[in-house]
Homo-oligomer: A and B are copies of this chain.
Protein backbone atom coordinates (compact mmCIF):
# COMPACT_ATOMS: atom_id res chain seq x y z
CA UNK A 1 0.00 0.00 0.00
CA UNK A 2 1.11 3.55 -0.71
CA UNK A 3 -0.10 6.47 1.39
CA UNK A 4 -0.03 9.91 -0.21
CA UNK A 5 -0.86 13.25 1.34
CA UNK A 6 -1.60 15.96 -1.14
CA UNK A 7 -2.57 19.58 -1.23
CA UNK A 8 -3.85 21.56 -4.20
CA UNK A 9 -4.17 25.34 -4.07
CA UNK A 10 -5.90 27.22 -6.85
CA UNK A 11 -6.27 30.95 -7.24
CA UNK A 12 -8.41 32.88 -9.72
CA UNK A 13 -9.56 36.42 -10.22
CA UNK A 14 -13.15 36.54 -11.39
CA UNK A 15 -14.40 39.46 -13.41
CA UNK A 16 -17.51 41.49 -12.67
CA UNK A 17 -19.95 38.99 -14.20
CA UNK A 18 -18.95 36.06 -12.02
CA UNK A 19 -18.02 32.73 -13.56
CA UNK A 20 -19.02 29.07 -13.49
CA UNK A 21 -16.46 26.38 -12.82
CA UNK A 22 -16.35 22.64 -13.11
CA UNK A 23 -13.38 21.35 -11.14
CA UNK A 24 -11.97 17.86 -11.12
CA UNK A 25 -9.57 18.13 -8.20
CA UNK A 26 -10.98 15.60 -5.78
CA UNK A 27 -9.18 12.31 -5.48
CA UNK A 28 -11.42 9.65 -7.00
CA UNK A 29 -13.02 7.11 -4.68
CA UNK A 30 -12.44 3.71 -6.23
CA UNK A 31 -11.99 0.12 -5.16
CA UNK A 32 -8.23 0.59 -5.07
CA UNK A 33 -7.90 4.24 -4.10
CA UNK A 34 -9.26 5.10 -0.67
CA UNK A 35 -9.58 8.69 0.39
CA UNK A 36 -9.13 8.35 4.12
CA UNK A 37 -9.41 12.08 4.81
CA UNK A 38 -10.05 15.14 2.74
CA UNK A 39 -10.91 18.77 3.12
CA UNK A 40 -11.92 21.54 0.75
CA UNK A 41 -11.60 25.21 1.69
CA UNK A 42 -13.15 27.98 -0.35
CA UNK A 43 -12.67 31.69 0.29
CA UNK A 44 -16.11 32.57 -1.11
CA UNK A 45 -19.37 31.82 0.73
CA UNK A 46 -20.94 30.04 -2.23
CA UNK A 47 -22.79 26.78 -2.66
CA UNK A 48 -20.92 23.93 -4.33
CA UNK A 49 -22.24 20.82 -5.98
CA UNK A 50 -20.22 17.62 -6.09
CA UNK A 51 -21.14 14.92 -8.58
CA UNK A 52 -19.52 11.50 -8.85
CA UNK A 53 -19.41 9.65 -12.15
CA UNK A 54 -20.53 6.16 -11.24
CA UNK A 55 -18.47 4.37 -13.86
CA UNK A 56 -15.09 5.90 -13.04
CA UNK A 57 -15.42 7.48 -9.60
CA UNK A 58 -14.43 10.83 -11.06
CA UNK A 59 -15.76 13.64 -8.89
CA UNK A 60 -16.79 16.93 -10.44
CA UNK A 61 -17.17 20.01 -8.28
CA UNK A 62 -19.37 22.74 -9.66
CA UNK A 63 -19.76 26.24 -8.37
CA UNK A 64 -20.63 29.72 -9.50
CA UNK A 65 -17.95 32.13 -8.31
CA UNK A 66 -18.60 35.72 -7.34
CA UNK A 67 -16.55 38.58 -8.74
CA UNK A 68 -13.15 39.00 -7.09
CA UNK A 69 -10.60 36.47 -5.93
CA UNK A 70 -11.50 32.80 -5.73
CA UNK A 71 -9.25 30.48 -3.75
CA UNK A 72 -9.63 26.75 -3.32
CA UNK A 73 -7.50 24.60 -1.14
CA UNK A 74 -7.99 20.86 -1.27
CA UNK A 75 -6.13 18.45 0.97
CA UNK A 76 -6.45 14.71 1.08
CA UNK A 77 -4.87 11.58 2.44
CA UNK A 78 -5.14 8.76 -0.04
CA UNK A 79 -4.27 5.07 0.22
CA UNK A 80 -3.42 3.26 -2.99
CA UNK A 81 -3.78 -0.51 -3.30
CA UNK A 82 -2.07 -1.70 -6.45
CA UNK A 83 -2.61 -4.78 -8.48
CA UNK A 84 0.71 -6.03 -9.86
CA UNK A 85 0.93 -8.28 -12.90
CA UNK A 86 3.66 -9.94 -14.89
CA UNK A 87 3.73 -7.98 -18.16
CA UNK A 88 4.42 -11.07 -20.25
CA UNK A 89 1.16 -12.58 -19.02
CA UNK A 90 -1.10 -9.71 -20.07
CA UNK A 91 -2.87 -10.29 -23.38
CA UNK A 92 -4.81 -7.88 -25.50
CA UNK A 93 -8.51 -8.65 -25.57
CA UNK A 94 -10.21 -9.31 -28.91
CA UNK A 95 -12.86 -6.76 -29.80
CA UNK A 96 -15.59 -9.38 -29.61
CA UNK A 97 -14.66 -10.14 -26.01
CA UNK A 98 -14.33 -6.61 -24.66
CA UNK A 99 -16.71 -5.77 -21.83
CA UNK A 100 -19.45 -3.39 -22.92
CA UNK A 101 -18.23 -0.66 -20.57
CA UNK A 102 -14.79 -0.85 -22.14
CA UNK A 103 -15.56 -0.84 -25.84
CA UNK A 104 -16.24 2.90 -25.97
CA UNK A 105 -12.55 3.44 -25.32
CA UNK A 106 -11.54 2.14 -28.74
CA UNK A 107 -13.41 4.96 -30.47
CA UNK A 108 -11.80 8.27 -31.47
CA UNK A 109 -12.27 11.33 -29.30
CA UNK A 110 -11.56 15.06 -29.45
CA UNK A 111 -7.83 14.84 -28.87
CA UNK A 112 -7.24 11.23 -29.96
CA UNK A 113 -8.22 10.93 -33.62
CA UNK A 114 -7.44 7.26 -33.91
CA UNK A 115 -9.62 6.96 -37.00
CA UNK A 116 -6.95 8.82 -38.98
CA UNK A 117 -4.10 6.62 -37.73
CA UNK A 118 -5.21 3.14 -38.75
CA UNK A 119 -2.58 2.67 -41.46
CA UNK A 120 0.20 4.30 -39.47
CA UNK A 121 -0.47 2.14 -36.43
CA UNK A 122 -0.74 -1.01 -38.53
CA UNK A 123 2.55 -0.18 -40.25
CA UNK A 124 4.45 0.58 -37.09
CA UNK A 125 2.96 -1.94 -34.67
CA UNK A 126 0.79 -4.31 -36.67
CA UNK A 127 3.40 -7.05 -36.86
CA UNK A 128 4.27 -7.04 -33.16
CA UNK A 129 3.21 -9.79 -30.80
CA UNK A 130 -0.04 -8.70 -29.19
CA UNK A 131 -0.15 -7.96 -25.49
CA UNK A 132 1.54 -5.76 -22.92
CA UNK A 133 4.75 -5.76 -24.94
CA UNK A 134 3.05 -4.13 -27.90
CA UNK A 135 1.58 -1.43 -25.71
CA UNK A 136 5.02 -0.89 -24.21
CA UNK A 137 6.40 -0.60 -27.76
CA UNK A 138 3.82 2.06 -28.57
CA UNK A 139 4.79 4.00 -25.46
CA UNK A 140 8.48 3.72 -26.26
CA UNK A 141 7.80 4.85 -29.82
CA UNK A 142 6.00 7.95 -28.58
CA UNK A 143 8.64 8.74 -25.97
CA UNK A 144 11.51 8.43 -28.40
CA UNK A 145 9.86 10.73 -30.93
CA UNK A 146 8.25 13.47 -28.84
CA UNK A 147 10.26 16.02 -26.83
CA UNK A 148 8.93 17.10 -23.46
CA UNK A 149 8.75 20.90 -23.71
CA UNK A 150 6.44 23.30 -21.93
CA UNK A 151 4.53 26.15 -23.57
CA UNK A 152 4.63 24.88 -27.13
CA UNK A 153 1.39 22.92 -27.18
CA UNK A 154 -1.89 24.34 -25.89
CA UNK A 155 -5.43 23.33 -25.04
CA UNK A 156 -6.39 22.65 -28.66
CA UNK A 157 -3.35 20.47 -29.41
CA UNK A 158 -4.37 16.95 -30.38
CA UNK A 159 -2.67 13.63 -31.07
CA UNK A 160 -2.25 14.33 -34.77
CA UNK A 161 -0.62 17.66 -33.98
CA UNK A 162 1.80 15.95 -31.62
CA UNK A 163 2.54 13.28 -34.19
CA UNK A 164 3.48 15.99 -36.68
CA UNK A 165 5.19 18.50 -34.44
CA UNK A 166 6.85 16.04 -32.05
CA UNK A 167 6.74 18.20 -28.95
CA UNK A 168 4.47 18.54 -25.95
CA UNK A 169 3.77 17.91 -22.29
CA UNK A 170 2.40 14.89 -20.41
CA UNK A 171 -1.09 15.46 -21.75
CA UNK A 172 0.15 15.40 -25.34
CA UNK A 173 2.19 12.24 -24.83
CA UNK A 174 -0.89 10.62 -23.34
CA UNK A 175 -3.17 11.66 -26.19
CA UNK A 176 -0.82 10.33 -28.84
CA UNK A 177 -0.29 7.02 -27.07
CA UNK A 178 -4.05 6.61 -26.59
CA UNK A 179 -4.76 7.37 -30.24
CA UNK A 180 -2.22 4.80 -31.41
CA UNK A 181 -3.61 2.12 -29.10
CA UNK A 182 -7.17 2.74 -30.24
CA UNK A 183 -6.08 2.60 -33.88
CA UNK A 184 -5.10 -1.00 -33.12
CA UNK A 185 -8.40 -1.64 -31.29
CA UNK A 186 -6.69 -1.64 -27.92
CA UNK A 187 -8.91 0.22 -25.39
CA UNK A 188 -7.05 3.18 -23.93
CA UNK A 189 -8.16 6.08 -21.76
CA UNK A 190 -6.91 9.26 -20.16
CA UNK A 191 -6.21 9.61 -16.45
CA UNK A 192 -5.35 12.71 -14.48
CA UNK A 193 -4.13 13.40 -11.01
CA UNK A 194 -0.95 14.38 -9.25
CA UNK A 195 2.49 13.28 -10.24
CA UNK A 196 5.31 12.30 -7.89
CA UNK A 197 9.03 12.04 -8.22
CA UNK A 198 9.30 14.12 -11.37
CA UNK A 199 12.60 15.73 -12.26
CA UNK A 200 12.48 19.28 -10.80
CA UNK A 201 14.07 20.48 -14.05
CA UNK A 202 10.68 19.91 -15.72
CA UNK A 203 9.13 22.56 -13.50
CA UNK A 204 7.25 22.67 -10.19
CA UNK A 205 4.86 19.83 -9.25
CA UNK A 206 1.83 19.98 -11.46
CA UNK A 207 -1.27 18.11 -12.41
CA UNK A 208 -0.29 15.02 -14.33
CA UNK A 209 -1.89 13.15 -17.22
CA UNK A 210 -1.21 9.54 -18.04
CA UNK A 211 -2.73 6.55 -19.80
CA UNK A 212 -4.69 3.46 -18.89
CA UNK A 213 -4.80 0.51 -21.26
CA UNK A 214 -7.16 -2.42 -20.94
CA UNK A 215 -5.24 -5.73 -20.94
CA UNK A 216 -6.36 -9.11 -19.64
CA UNK A 217 -9.28 -8.05 -17.50
CA UNK A 218 -8.36 -4.68 -16.11
CA UNK A 219 -6.95 -1.24 -16.81
CA UNK A 220 -3.18 -0.87 -16.45
CA UNK A 221 -1.29 2.37 -15.91
CA UNK A 222 1.23 3.66 -18.46
CA UNK A 223 3.06 6.92 -17.81
CA UNK A 224 3.34 7.99 -21.43
CA UNK A 225 5.67 10.92 -20.80
CA UNK A 226 7.81 8.85 -18.46
CA UNK A 227 8.37 11.76 -16.16
CA UNK A 228 7.17 10.41 -12.84
CA UNK A 229 6.73 7.37 -10.58
CA UNK A 230 3.39 5.72 -11.44
CA UNK A 231 3.11 3.91 -8.13
CA UNK A 232 2.43 7.25 -6.43
CA UNK A 233 -0.10 8.67 -8.85
CA UNK A 234 -3.25 9.82 -7.12
CA UNK A 235 -6.16 9.61 -9.53
CA UNK A 236 -8.52 12.55 -9.97
CA UNK A 237 -10.26 11.87 -13.25
CA UNK A 238 -10.71 9.15 -15.84
CA UNK A 239 -12.10 9.85 -19.29
CA UNK A 240 -11.67 9.51 -22.98
CA UNK A 241 -9.23 12.37 -23.18
CA UNK A 242 -8.55 15.77 -21.68
CA UNK A 243 -11.95 17.07 -22.75
CA UNK A 244 -13.59 14.88 -20.11
CA UNK A 245 -11.37 15.55 -17.15
CA UNK A 246 -9.88 19.00 -17.26
CA UNK A 247 -8.90 19.95 -13.71
CA UNK A 248 -10.80 23.18 -14.25
CA UNK A 249 -13.32 24.04 -16.93
CA UNK A 250 -14.13 27.72 -16.74
CA UNK A 251 -17.17 29.55 -18.08
CA UNK A 252 -16.65 33.28 -17.84
CA UNK A 253 -13.98 35.94 -17.63
CA UNK A 254 -11.24 34.78 -15.29
CA UNK A 255 -7.52 35.29 -14.76
CA UNK A 256 -5.74 32.21 -13.47
CA UNK A 257 -2.60 31.76 -11.45
CA UNK A 258 -0.49 28.63 -11.72
CA UNK A 259 -1.78 25.92 -9.40
CA UNK A 260 0.34 25.04 -6.38
CA UNK A 261 0.51 21.33 -5.68
CA UNK A 262 2.31 19.43 -2.95
CA UNK A 263 2.38 15.64 -2.65
CA UNK A 264 4.15 13.60 -0.06
CA UNK A 265 4.46 9.84 0.32
CA UNK A 266 4.11 8.72 3.93
CA UNK A 267 6.42 5.77 4.51
CA UNK A 268 5.80 3.56 7.51
CA UNK A 269 6.38 -0.13 6.96
CA UNK A 270 4.77 -0.87 10.30
CA UNK A 271 1.51 0.48 8.92
CA UNK A 272 2.07 -1.14 5.55
CA UNK A 273 2.84 2.19 3.89
CA UNK A 274 5.67 1.57 1.42
CA UNK A 275 7.96 3.84 -0.53
CA UNK A 276 6.77 4.42 -4.13
CA UNK A 277 9.31 3.07 -6.59
CA UNK A 278 9.50 2.41 -10.28
CA UNK A 279 8.78 -1.27 -10.81
CA UNK A 280 8.95 -3.68 -13.69
CA UNK A 281 5.53 -5.19 -13.07
CA UNK A 282 2.45 -3.87 -14.76
CA UNK A 283 0.50 -1.70 -12.36
CA UNK A 284 -3.22 -1.28 -11.98
CA UNK A 285 -5.57 0.50 -9.60
CA UNK A 286 -8.59 -1.08 -11.21
CA UNK A 287 -10.59 -3.81 -9.56
CA UNK A 288 -10.99 -5.70 -12.83
CA UNK A 289 -13.94 -6.82 -14.86
CA UNK A 290 -15.21 -10.22 -15.93
CA UNK A 291 -14.46 -10.88 -19.57
CA UNK A 292 -17.40 -10.82 -21.96
CA UNK A 293 -17.96 -13.96 -23.94
CA UNK A 294 -19.53 -12.96 -27.22
Q: What is the interface of chain A, defined by CB distance below 8 A to chain B?
A: 20, 22, 47-49, 51, 53, 60, 62-64, 94-96, 100, 103-104, 107-110, 112-113, 115-117, 119-120, 123, 145, 147, 155-156, 160, 163-167, 185, 243-244, 249, 251, 292, 294
Contacts and interface: CB of A to CB of B under 8 A. Distances in A.
Contacts of A163: 163-164
Q: Please tell me how many copies of the chain the complex holds.
A: 4
B119 A165 contact: yes
B145 A123 contact: yes
Contact of A251 (B22, B48, B100, B185): B185
A286 B258 CA distance: 42
B119 A167 contact: yes
Contacts of A107: 110, 243-244, 249
A107 to B, nearest CB: 5
Given A164-B117, A244-B107, A294 B123 contact: no
B96 A119 contact: no
